[in-house]
Amino acid sequence: MTHHPNDPTAVAPAPTTPSPETTGLGRRGFLTLATAGIAASTLSVTIGSLSPAAAATAPAPATGATPSGPAPRKRELRAMWISSVVNIDWPSAAGLSAEQQKAEYLHWLDVAEQYRLNAVFVQVRPTADAFWPSPYEPWSQYLTGTQGKDPGYDPLAFVVEESHKRNIEIHAWYNPYRVSMQADPAQLVPEHPARQHPDWVWAYGGKLYFDPGLPEAQEHIQRAILHSVENYDLDGVHFDDYFYPYAVAGQTIPDAHTYATHGAGFATVEEWRRHNVDTFVQSISQRIKQVKPWVKFGISPFGIWRNASTDPRGSATNGSQSYDMQFADTRKWVTEGWLDYINPQIYWQIGLAVADYAKLVPWWAEVAAQSGTQLFIGEALYKVTSGVFTDPAEMSNHLTFSQQVDAEVGPVLGNVYFSAKHVPADPQGSMSRVLEDHYRHPALVPASPKLPAQPLRTPVLAWAGWRDDGVRVHWTDAGGRRFPATSFAIYRVDGWVKKVDVENPAHLVATQRAEGRILQDYLDETALRGKKYTYVVTALDRLWNESRPSEVRWSV
């Protein structure tokens, strides 16, 4: 996932030399059918132009600098994308030592904890390469500066282990078809599959891509991805918006020969291309579940499927369309139930005429509700940094509005921020505002009802005792070796009481990874000396299903 900082109403220019902020500019340039140059500050928010169903139920969007958001949520995904392509986030530069790379990743986990995030989406296959020892593709050049060079450790193993130590979900992020950010196959290492099978790839827009219409290329991509699923304890498999490449003015996708060979039965090349991507998405979804039924599969597409002016099922927008531009029928993937979650990149402000956040979120909520697919919203934090978003409250208002849609239209279960480097940068204080308005307390990741739950036993809470640095809480995992918990949630209320309401998000103090231990303890360093507290603990499986709460214990 790479992002273009230009105004979203601007017509996409021709490609330039890649940089961390301009790679993939077709997407961020945002082709529009409307007149460019509308000032965001002059736009008003109107719900009347929503689809009829959404207009009837959509809440009014939050406005102003001091949103009074809905009550905090016990469960919501709070995540950030950690991008590796052209070293956007991690590693911050190619050629850092293994120890420097590890220290940088631990820093990103520190950031996640500081902002009370509970998941990270880490790019581990940016350009048909690997952040793990893969038998299918070479080591990534973004690790060492040299494609195919061993970085001296296993980055994916480190990422998974360290994320789980902090009970942060790790979704491995892959770019399926992109082979290289340049167009010359000779610059790839000789053992690269694109060199071994030159008929699998074509050049377009100054980059190399696997041909999505070739069954052999599709199979290779799936095997490369599944190798990591089989060998690492991933929580999710994640794709972004790159399928067929974004259109480049004056260029034609060079797949005429493939279409002539494999396109029988399709009236147009566009239908055939969509079929190729559909087949890939459906197949990889099924194969992930065959390997590990509990691993989530999700995609973060461009935020507009189709405009209502093109298709009555589309959104009340006037921008480029993933269905027609990337041949990605994202609505179909959701309604067919091929995805566990959809994470559309709704990278525009509330009130933007051509692509209004306040119209797109309800539209996606309605679509996701049809199949029970979980909906998370991709947030353009980088646009606060670049100045496209001028209101410091824009991000917080997005969350307020999304939570209102969740309550009144259909499920909106969290937000993902692009990209990691913009979170601690806190442009215009926007993430501090999100933390204050929405993330004051930890949150559990939403459970996944469609995926297999694990039997859970209620923990046995032994005692909660004061120590010099806080209250130490001790309990036993009652599931033992047969039904061990993946993690635990610790709840606390003021005073000595007989019952703790674990559905009140303000009572959640922390979650803690079990790490295979039957005897568990947690130090509550936020406890204030001289106060009385009551604690309970619950067990969580790897999909965040929760046991009944333990018996209460008072701080003594």
Q: Structural domains in the chain?
A: 25-437 (3.20.20.80), 460-554 (2.60.40.10)
The residue type at 353: A
DSSP string for residues in 265-326: T-SSHHHHHHHHHHHHHHHHHHHHHHH-TT-EEEE--BS-S-BTTT-TTSBS--B--HHHHT
Residue 379 pairs with which residues in a beta bridge?
417
Sign, Cα dihedral of 22, 23, 27, 32: positive
Q: How far apart are CA 524 and CA 493, in angstroms?
A: 12
Closest CA relative to residue 184, chosen from 210, 202, 167: 202
Name the pTM for this structure.
0.90
Q: Enter the tokens of residue 51.
A: 């689809």
């029928």: which residue's tokens? 329
Q: Enter the tokens of residue 20.
A: 């961390």
Give the per-residue pLDDT at 50: 30
H or E stretch at 398: helix 394-408
Query: Under 8 Å CB-to-CB from 10, ≥6 apart: which residues?
Result: 29, 30, 32, 36
Contact 318, 354 (CB under 8 A): yes
Give the per-residue pLDDT at 71: 83
Angle CA 505–509–511, to nearest 5: 100
Query: Under 8 Å CB-to-CB from 161, ≥6 apart: which residues?
Result: none
Q: Note the pLDDT tens digit of each residue in 10-68.
A: 323 222 223 333 333 333 333 333 323 322 322 222 222 233 233 333 344 333 333 45
Q: How far apart are CA 254 and CA 349, in angstroms?
A: 36
Q: How far apart are CA 277 and CA 408, in angstroms?
A: 33
Q: Enter the tokens of residue 55.
A: 């207009």
Characterize the bridge pairing of strands 533-540 and 553-554. Answer: antiparallel
Closest CA relative to residue 235, chosen from 169, 315, 136, 280: 169
């995904």: which residue's tokens? 77
Give the per-residue pLDDT at 22: 30
Residue 475 dihedral angles phi and psi, to the nearest 5°: -150, 170
Q: How far apart are CA 415 and CA 156, in angstroms?
A: 24
Characterize the bridge pairing of strands 414-417 and 377-379. Answer: parallel
Closest CA relative to residue 237, chosen from 295, 292, 161: 295
Give the per-residue pLDDT at 15: 27
Query: Under 8 Å CB-to-CB from 49, ≥6 apart: which residues?
Result: 55, 316, 356, 359
Cβ–Cβ contacts within 10 Å for residue 52, how many? 7
Q: How far apart are CA 551 and CA 31, in angstroms?
A: 58
Q: Note the pLDDT tens digit of each residue in 505-548.
A: 999 999 999 999 999 999 999 999 999 999 999 999 999 999 99
Closest CA relative to residue 517, chosen from 494, 491, 486, 542: 486
Contact 327, 244 (CB under 8 A): yes
Q: Enter the tokens of residue 287.
A: 């194969």
Residue 173 pairs with which residues in a beta bridge?
123, 238
Cβ–Cβ contacts within 10 Å for residue 529, how many? 8
Q: How far apart are CA 547 and CA 172, in angstroms?
A: 28
Task: Say what the alpha-carbon torsion angle 79, 84, 89, 94 is, to the nearest 10 degrees.
Answer: 160
Helices 430-437 and 394-408 meet at what angle, rounded to 10? 40
Q: How far apart are CA 213 and CA 204, in angstroms?
A: 15
End-to-end CA distance of the chain: 51
Give the per-residue pLDDT at 69: 54
Contact 410, 365 (CB under 8 A): yes
Closest CA relative to residue 81, chosen from 110, 113, 116, 117: 117
Contact 131, 407 (CB under 8 A): no
Give the per-residue pLDDT at 214: 99
**Alpha-carbon distances, residue 454 vs 30, 236, 318, 551 (angstroms):** 43, 17, 45, 22
**Residues of the chain scoring pLDDT < 70:** 1-70
Residue 127 pairs with which residues in a beta bridge?
none
CA atoms within 13 A on the CB side of 147: 21
Q: How far apart are CA 371 and CA 335, in angstroms?
A: 5
